Structure 1
Amino acid sequence: MSLFIYNSLSRQKEEFTPLHPGIATLYVCGPTVYGHAHLGHAKSYVSFDVVVKWLRHLGYTVKYIQNITDVGHLTDDADEGEDKIAKQARLEKTDPMEIAQYYTRSYYEDMDRLGVDRPNIAPTATGHIPEQIALIKKLMENGHAYEVNGNVYFSVSSFPDYGRLSGRTDQEAQQSGGRVASRSEKRHPADFALWKKAETGHLMKWDSPWSTGYPGWHAECSAMAMKYLGDTIDIHGGGMENKFPHHECEIAQSEAATGKPYVRYWMHNNMVTVNGTKMGKSLKNSVNLKDLFQTIPPIVIRFFILQSHYRSPLDFSETAIKASQSGLEKLQETWRALATAAPGSEELDTAGYEERFTDAMNDDFNTPIAISVLFDLARAVNTALNSKQGLSENSLEECKKIFESCGHDVLGIIETGNTESSQGKAAGKEMVDDIVSILLDVRKQARQNKDFALSDLIRDRLADSGVAIKDTKEGAEWSISENK
C-alpha cells in the first residue's frame, strides 16, 4: 500500500508523490516564542515528528524546515494590536530579543524531552528580513501589493483563488477583517499587512524601501519555505487554526510572487481541549508542558497524543492521562519481557502485525490504529511467553525488531535501551526534580522573610551545579544548563 495523505486543500486523501523522487520536503509552522510551550504545541510537533519519522522509515530523504516566529506576530490576526513578543517583554521588563531567545531555548528543551527530532533547518523571522523584503518588492512590482504611509498590504482582490484552502468566501474574509477597527488606508478590509511601519518606541525594527518597520506575520513563512525548499514544496503542516488567515495568506503571496503552486499537500492537526473545553490562555486552562512534566513522564504525554489521530481533537483530563500511563506501561513491560526472555520453541507469525502497522501509518499516519497493532502483538507475545513452550529464538528477535522499529524508531513510545539503566536514569531524574523543588521552596520562603543572602546563595549554588533559575510573576522556573 502506498502512502496516502489527507490534503486539506482538496479535502480528500491523496497518494503521496513527491516533486522530486526519493526526496520529501516539509515545512511546519513553528512556535511564536513569547511563552513556554503548552500541550497544543506538543500535539502539533509530536504529530509532525511522526510524519517525518515515517517518511524516513519509508526511505525518503526528508528535508524538514520548522521556523521560529520571533517578530511580527500581532495580538490580532487582522493586522491590529501589538507584537506578542514586545508585549511579553514589557510584562517581564526586558528586551524583546531576550524574550525570544529565552522561550526558544525553553521550547527546544520541552521538545527534546518529548523525543521530537530537531528540524534540518530552524530559521528565524528576524534572521530573514532581507528575504521578506525581497518577496514584498516582487509583489509590489507585479501589482499584488501596495504601499500606504509606510505600510505595505497584499491586495486580496488581485488573487482570485484567495479562500480556497479555508473555504471562506470573499465576503466572509471581509467580515473577518472587520471584527476589529480596520485601517482606513486599506483598499479592502481583507487585505493583509506585508510590512508595518514601526511606531515610536518599537524596538524590533529594520530599514526597508517603505519605512523603518517590521514584516507582517505571514511573510516570514513564504520567504523561508521558498528559500530552503524551492518555489513548490511537498508538504506544509500546521495547526488547524492557521488555515485562516495565516496559510491562506501564505498561498496568496507565494503563488502571486512565483506563478507556481506553493504547496502540494496541506496537513493540519486538530486542537486540544481540556475536559471538553477548548484550551486557551484567555480561558485560563492552558496546560503548560513544564508543569505537566513535574508529575507526568514526557513519554507518557507523547503516547497520550499519539493515541488520537492528528486530525482529531485531543481532550486532556487526569483520567485520560492515567489511562495512557497504564497502557504505555503494559507495552513497556512486554518489551522488558522480550528483552530478558530465554528462547523457547513456539513460533509466532509476526508478518501480519508488521503489515497492519504499515497499512495504518500509510493511511494518513493513523497512529491510534498503529498503536492498537502493538497492543495486539503484545498480547500474543505475553501469551506465548507465559506458556510452557515460550517463544523461539527467531520469534523473539522478530518481535524485538517490531518493537524497536515501530514502537521506538517510528512512534517514539517504547524505551528500548538497557532496561535497568533506563529505570535508573528515570529514578535519578525524578530525584533531581524533587531536590530542586525543595530548594526552590526554601528559597521562596527566604525571599518572603527578606533573607536575600540565603536566597542568592541557593540560586548561585544551583547555578554552579548547572541549574539555571529564572524568576517570573508565576514563580521561579528552572532548567538544566546544556554545558553541564
Structure 2
Amino acid sequence: MSLWIYNSLNRVKEEFIPLQDGVVTMYVCGPTVYGHAHLGHAKSYVSFDVVAKWLRHSGYRVKYIQNITDVGHLTDDADEGEDKIARQARKERIDPMEIAQYYTRSYYEDMDRLGIDRPNIAPTATGHIPDQVNLISTLVEKGHAYEVNGNVYFSVESFKEYGKLSGRTTEEARQSGGRVETRSEKRHPADFALWKKAEPGHLMKWDSPWGSGYPGWHAECSAMAMKYLGETIDIHGGGMENKFPHHECEIAQSEAATGKPYVRYWMHNNMVTVNGTKMGKSLGNFINLKDIFKRFAPVVIRFFILQSHYRSPLDFSETAIDASRTGLEKLQDTWTRLQQAAPGSGEIETRPFQERLTEAMNDDFNTPIAIAVLFDLAKAVNAAIAAPSGLNQDSLDRCISLFRSFGEDVLGILQNPATEKGKADNEDEETLDTVMNLLIDIRSRARSGKDYELSDLIRDKLAKAGITMKDTREGTEWSR
C-alpha cells in the first residue's frame, strides 16, 4: 500500500516516491521568533510532526530541517516595512538577538510540550549569512538578479515559471503588491528583495559585495534547504499563507540558481480560525499557546488539531476543545484498561483495523480518519474486555501493538499508562503554571507597592532555580 500526498504544485494527490530509495529529505518553514508561539504554529508543526513520524514508521530515514527566522522578515511580509525582530526589540528596549534567542527558547518549550520531535537540524538565518550571500551572488552572475543602491532584487521576468505554485502571474503579483511595490529602483514591481541595504542605526547587518545590509526573508530558506538537503528536496512544507509570496519566491531563486527542480512535493497546511473568524493579532483573537496550556493539557490541543485534516481549516472554540478533551479521555481510558486487562479466552480480529489505519495515513496523512478508526477499535476492545471470556494474550498483544504504534508513536495522542510519565509531566506542568502565575501576581503587587526588595528577591530566587522572569509591556512572562 503506497503513500499518496497532495502536491500543492500540481494540485493533485500523487504517489510518493523519494528521490533516494529509503531516504526522505524534508524542509518545513520555521517561525519568525519575535513573539510567543500561537495556535497557528501548533497546527502547522503538529501536522508536519505526524508527517515525519509516519514516514519513519513506514521505514524511511527522514532528514528533517526546520529553520528559525531571526532576521530579514519585514512587517508587510514582502519588501517594505521594518524587520519584525528589530521592531520588537525597539518595543522592549533590548538587543534584537536577545529577542530572537528568548522567543526561540519559548518556541521550543511549547513544541516540546506538544510532543513534537525536534528536527534533525534547526538552522538560523543569522548563522547562514555566507550561504545566502553565495546564493545571491550566483543569481546576480546569471542575470537573474540586479543591484540598485545597495539593494539586490530578483528579476521575476527572468524566470518564466514564476507563479507556477500560487497560480499568480507577474501582472497579478504587481497588482496584489501595488500598495508597496512602487519603488522606482525596481525594474518590475513584482521583483523581490534578496538583500536589503541597512539604514543607519540598523543593528542586525553584515558586510556583502553590495555593502552593509541583511538578507531578504526568502533567501534564507533556499540557502539552508539546499545546503543540508541538496539542490532538489523531496518535501517542503509550510502554512498556506506562505504559498505566495514566500514559497513562490523560493522556487524562483532556487531553480534560477541551479537549473534543477527545487521541490518534488509541496505540502501546505490550512489556517486557524476562532469562532469562524480568521485568527490574527489585529483582530484581538490571537491564541497564545502559553495561555491556552493554562486551561488545557498540551496533548488535548494536539488531539484537537489532528481531528481535522492538515489541509482543512481548524476552528478554535472552548466548546470544541472541551469535546476533544472528553473524547481523548475515553480513548486514554481504553488504552489504560487494555494494558491492565488480565488474559482470557476471547479473540478479536485486528487486521481490518490495522489496514484501515494504514490506509488512512497513506491517504495524504488523514489523521481524522485514523482517529475515528482508533475509536472503533476502542469500542471493540471495551466490549471484548467486558465480556466474560475477555481477550486471550495474543489478542491483547495485537491490540496493544496497534494502540502503541498509531496512538502513541505516530499520532502522539495517547500516553503510556504503564509508567504514568506523560500524565505526571502534564500535571507537573499545570502545577508549575499555577504556582508561577501566583508568584507573578505577588511580585506585581510588590512592585505596585514599591516593595522592590521583595520583587527582586522573587526574581533572583527563581533565576537560581533556572526560571527566568521577563517584564514586557504586556505583563510578566517566564521561561525555563
TM-score class, shorter-chain normalisation, is over 0.9
**1:464 to partner: Cα distance:** 2.4
Equivalents in 2 of 1:431, 1:67: separation in Å? 32
Shift of the 170–427 alpha-carbon distance from structure 1 to 2, 3 Å rule, reads closer
Contact kept? 1:176, 1:190, Cα under 8 Å: no
**1:210 to partner: Cα distance:** 0.7
Equivalents in 2 of 1:85, 1:175: separation in Å? 28
Q: Say which SS state the counterpart of residue 203 (structure 2) adopts.
A: coil
Shift of the 323–254 alpha-carbon distance from structure 1 to 2, 3 Å rule, reads same
Matches within 5 A, 1:136-285: 136-180=136-180, 182-285=182-285
**Which residue in the other structure is 2:468 paired with?**
468
**Which residue in the other structure is 1:386 paired with?**
386
Q: Say which SS state the counterpart of residue 206 (structure 1) adopts.
A: coil
**Which residue in the other structure is 2:432 paired with?**
432
**1:419 to partner: Cα distance:** 5.2
Q: Say which SS state the counterpart of residue 86 (structure 2) adopts.
A: helix
Contact kept? 2:139, 2:257, Cα under 8 Å: yes
Instruction: Give 1:431's aligned amino acid.
Output: T
Equivalents in 2 of 1:253, 1:422: separation in Å? 44
Q: Say which SS state the counterpart of residue 26 (structure 1) adopts.
A: strand
Contact kept? 2:25, 2:229, Cα under 8 Å: yes
Equivalents in 2 of 1:427, 1:219: separation in Å? 42
Q: Say which SS state the counterpart of residue 238 (structure 1) adopts.
A: strand
Contact kept? 1:299, 1:413, Cα under 8 Å: yes
Q: Which runs of 5+ in 2 are unaligned?
A: none
CA shift digits 1:315-363 (9 cap, x unpaired): 0000000000000000100011011111111100011111100000000
Q: Equivalent pairs: percent with the same residue?
A: 75
Q: TM-score, normalised by structure 1?
A: 0.98
1:397 equivalenced with 2:393 (yes/no): no
**Which residue in the other structure is 2:135 paired with?**
135
Q: Which runs of 5+ in 1 are unaligned?
A: none
**Which residue in the other structure is 1:409 paired with?**
409
CA shift digits 1:46-85 (9 cap, x unpaired): 0000000000000000000000000000011330101000
Q: TM-score, normalised by structure 2?
A: 0.98
**Which residue in the other structure is 2:313 paired with?**
313
**1:206 to partner: Cα distance:** 0.4
Equivalents in 1 of 2:91, 2:128: separation in Å? 27
Equivalents in 1 of 2:193, 2:201: separation in Å? 20
Equivalents in 1 of 2:116, 2:420: separation in Å? 24
Instruction: Give 1:434's aligned amino acid.
Output: T
Q: Could you tell which deviates more after superposition, 77-86 or 241-250? A: 77-86
**Which residue in the other structure is 2:334 paired with?**
334
Instruction: Give 1:297's aligned amino acid.
Output: A
Contact kept? 1:336, 1:419, Cα under 8 Å: no
Equivalents in 2 of 1:425, 1:206: separation in Å? 43
**Which residue in the other structure is 1:3 paired with?**
3
**1:467 to partner: Cα distance:** 2.2
**Which residue in the other structure is 1:289 paired with?**
289
CA shift digits 1:354-377 (9 cap, x unpaired): 110000000000000000010000
**Which residue in the other structure is 2:355 paired with?**
355
**1:427 to partner: Cα distance:** 3.2
Contact kept? 2:268, 2:311, Cα under 8 Å: yes
Q: Say which SS state the counterpart of residue 33 (structure 1) adopts.
A: coil
**1:383 to partner: Cα distance:** 0.6
Equivalents in 1 of 2:138, 2:235: separation in Å? 24
Instruction: Give 1:88's aligned amino acid.
Output: Q
Q: Could you tell which deviates more after superposition, 52-61 or 464-473? A: 464-473
Equivalents in 1 of 2:244, 2:98: separation in Å? 30
CA shift digits 1:256-300 (9 cap, x unpaired): 000000000000000000000000111111100000111110000
Shift of the 429–246 alpha-carbon distance from structure 1 to 2, 3 Å rule, reads closer
**Which residue in the other structure is 1:48 paired with?**
48
Equivalents in 1 of 2:105, 2:238: separation in Å? 21
CA shift digits 1:397-447 (9 cap, x unpaired): 111111111000000000015355544444333332222222221111111
Root-mean-square deviation (CA, aligned residues, Å) is 1.0
Equivalents in 1 of 2:274, 2:313: separation in Å? 10
Shift of the 5–421 alpha-carbon distance from structure 1 to 2, 3 Å rule, reads closer
Q: Say which SS state the counterpart of residue 385 (structure 1) adopts.
A: helix
**Which residue in the other structure is 1:441 paired with?**
441
**1:477 to partner: Cα distance:** 1.3
Equivalents in 1 of 2:101, 2:80: separation in Å? 24
Shift of the 420–149 alpha-carbon distance from structure 1 to 2, 3 Å rule, reads closer
Equivalents in 2 of 1:477, 1:78: separation in Å? 30
Q: Say which SS state the counterpart of residue 443 (structure 1) adopts.
A: helix
Equivalents in 2 of 1:425, 1:240: separation in Å? 33
**Which residue in the other structure is 1:37 paired with?**
37
Contact kept? 2:415, 2:423, Cα under 8 Å: no
**Which residue in the other structure is 1:58 paired with?**
58
Instruction: Give 1:358's aligned amino acid.
Output: T
1:25 equivalenced with 2:25 (yes/no): yes
**Which residue in the other structure is 2:118 paired with?**
118
Equivalents in 2 of 1:448, 1:57: separation in Å? 54
